[in-house]
Structure 1
């Protein structure tokens, strides 16, 4: 049989997983977001300690996650939410009124702590960028809708 059709195993192949992309934006985090990064880092360190030494695929995946979370932890800029925000900034929760009177509540948080399905969007998201610097009562045009800022409050601490 020709060697051209035989899969050769190379110990370096498992180590060659590409790194997770790291944002070029500032890594702003709320206190809750900082704790989440620390928890992810601790989780992957534990995985590294418990992974079988001969499971090169698992070791490579774990090493990639450790590189990512270590980079995010070391670049984190902890920002306390403003106590009485007068305008939309990182760490605020904004209530928006849509033209059909539907209300939407969103919180501007760090990229790694965003969860759009729970109303937490990254401060780098297009809607967040459109809102930053605006005050209560102001209207912003976004996706062909005029959104009115009804309230601005400090972001609430996430649980879990």
Structure 2
């Protein structure tokens, strides 16, 4: 049972602070879009926290406070990386197309951890594939999962 809700002696509920969300040990590199997403999350959570306090929603206050702590921390240590205009090598913020051994082509944009969504084609810079791609050029072969892939385009 979650310790966020603890029964008080009189039958009411008391709320403890929820445990903090885990924070990555890696540098918090962000694209300009990623920084904007973090700033928007902080503003949204400030509003949600205030609304939950005003309505007496103690569970909502606890959730918003926990998430606000996380995003404020991520904002405080965000390292903005401006996009490079050099298409010769893979870098943070670059869009890379690879061709796998089985002929599949995949395109990824290498971004910060909080803005990554592989289903939408964004890959966190700390992912093994991103690490294999960084610093490489068109024509280079990299380890990609259980096989290899060739870099066919960098944008």
Q: Name the residue aligned to 1:84.
A: 86
Question: Per the alignment, do residues 115 and 101 of structure 1 end up closer, same or farther by CA in structure 2, a change over 3 Å counting?
Answer: same
Higher relative contact order (CA 8 A, sep 6+): 1
| SS in structure 2 at match of 1:107 | strand
In structure 2, relative to structure 1, the CA distance for the partners of 1:9 and 1:20 (3 Å cut) is farther
Distance 2:60 2:113 in 1: 26
Aligned to 1:110: 112
Give 5+ residue unaligned stretches, structure 1: 1-6, 154-160
Q: Where do 4+ consecutive residues of structure 1 move more than 3 Å?
A: 9-13
Kindly tell me: are residues 19 and 47 of structure 1, through their superposed partners in 2, closer, same or farther at Cα, counting changes over 3 Å? same
Equivalent of 2:67, from 56, 65, 88? 65
For 2:20 and 2:43, the matched residues in 1 are separated by 19
Q: Is the 8 A contact 1:26 1:77 kept in 2?
A: yes
Distance 1:123 1:42 in 2: 26
Instruction: Give the 3 Å change call, closer, same or farther, for CA 128–50 of structure 1 in structure 2.
Output: same
**TM-score, normalising length from structure 1?**
0.85
Instruction: Give the SS at the match of 2:97.
Output: strand
Residue 28 of structure 2 corresponds to residue 8 of structure 1: no
Q: How far off its partner does 1:12 sit?
A: 9.9
- In structure 2, list runs of 5 or more residues that go unmatched: 1-6
What secondary structure, in the 3-state scheme, does the structure 2 residue paired with 1:81 have?
Answer: coil
Residue of structure 2 equivalent to 1:156: none
SS of the equivalent of 2:15 reads: helix
SS of 1:108 mapped into structure 2 = strand
TM-score, normalised by the number of residues in structure 2:
0.88
- Structure 1 range deviating more: 12-21 or 124-133: 12-21
Contact 1:15 1:56 in 2 (8 A): no
